Amino acid sequence: MNVKNFLVSGSVGGFIDFLLGWLFYGILFKDQFPPSENMNMLFIFLGCMTFGFLVSYIFNKWAGISNLMSGIKAGAILGLFIGFYSNFFMNAMQAAPNYQNMGLDIVITIASSAIVSGTIAFVIGKLK
C-alpha cells in the first residue's frame, strides 16, 4: 500500500466528511438534529478523520478502488450499513425512538458516505 496515497486521500476524505456534517446537521437539518450544548468539535473532527482513513485504507489496501463512480457506489453501500448500525445502537435504549429521524439520518449517512468515498477514490486515482 502506498502510504502517501493513504494519508492524502484519507485526510481529504475526513475533511470533506467534516464539511458535509456541518452542512447536513448544522445547516440543512438543524431542526431535526438540534446541536447539543455538550458537543465536542475536536471529537467530531477526529471521528470524521477516522472515517476518511478507514475508507482510504479499504480502497487502497483491499479494494483497489480509484475512480469516482466506483467510490460513490462502494461508499453508498458502506453508508447504508453504517447508518443502520449506528442508528440501531443509538436508539436501543430509547422508550420511543424517532423513526423519522432514524430514516433521515440513514439517508444522510448514505449520501455523505457516497460523497466522501467518491472523493477519496478520485484522489487515489489522481495520485497514481
Q: Are 82 and 116 in contact (CB under 8 A)?
A: no
Reading phi first (left if > 0) and then psi (alpha if -120 to 50, else beta), residue 71 is in alpha
The two counts, helices (H) then strands (E), for the chain are 4, 0
Q: What is the pLDDT of residues 65-88, one digit of tens each?
A: 999 999 999 999 999 999 999 999
Which sequence spans correspond to the domains of the chain?
Answer: 3-127
Cell of 98: 424517532
Q: What is the pLDDT of residues 109-128, one digit of tens each?
A: 999 999 999 999 999 999 98
What DSSP string describes 59-86? IIIII---SHHHHHHHHHHHHHHHHHHH
Q: What is the pLDDT of residues 26-57, one digit of tens each?
A: 999 999 999 999 999 999 999 999 999 999 99
Q: Are 119 and 16 in contact (CB under 8 A)?
A: yes
Instruction: Compute CA distances 99 → 8, 9, 94, 102, 106, whole Å.
Output: 37, 34, 11, 5, 10
